[in-house]
C-alpha cells in the first residue's frame, strides 16, 4: 500500500521521528514522508512510532491501496520521489 506520513512533534523528538521514518519511506519535505509499505512494515512503523510520540504530538498516516493520485507542486519540489526499476 502507499503511505503518506505527516507529523508535528516536539523539538525534543523530531530527530528521532525523522530518522525512523527515513528507514521506511522517502523524505518529501519538512515533516512529510511517503512510499510503498507492506502491511507488516506499516504495522511495525506504527508500533515504533508509538514508542516515540507523546500525547502532545501529532502524526497523521494516510493509507492508500496504491499510488493513484495527482500531485500538484506549487513552488519547489524539495525532494522528488523517483521510481527505480
Cα–Cα dist 76/78, whole Å: 6
Residue 61, in any domain of the structure? no
Euclidean distance between CA atoms 79 and 40, whole angstroms: 26
How many structural domains compose the chain? 1
- Residue 20 belongs to a domain with what CATH number? 3.30.70.240
Q: Which domain holds residue 22?
A: 8-53
Whether 27 is in a domain gets the answer yes
CA dihedral angle for residue 9, residue 73, residue 66, residue 80, rounded to 10 degrees: -80
Q: Flag whether 8 is marked binding.
A: yes
Is this structure's pTM higher than 0.75?
yes
Query: Tens digit of pLDDT for each residue in 47-56?
Result: 999 999 999 9
List, for residues 64-83, the tens digit of each pLDDT value. 987 877 788 888 887 776 65
Amino acid at each position: 500500500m502507499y503511505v503518506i506520513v505527516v507529523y508535528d512533534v516536539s523539538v525534543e523528538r523530531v530527530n528521532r521521528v525523522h530518522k525512523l521514518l527515513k528507514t521506511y519511506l522517502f523524505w518529501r519535505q519538512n515533516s512529510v514522508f511517503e512510499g510503498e509499505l507492506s502491511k507488516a512494515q506499516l504495522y511495525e512503523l506504527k508500533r515504533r512510532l508509538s514508542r516515540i510520540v507523546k500525547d502532545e504530538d501529532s502524526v497523521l498516516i494516510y493509507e492508500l491501496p496504491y499510488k493513484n493520485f495527482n500531485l500538484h507542486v506549487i513552488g519547489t519540489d524539495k525532494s522528488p520521489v523517483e521510481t527505480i526499476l
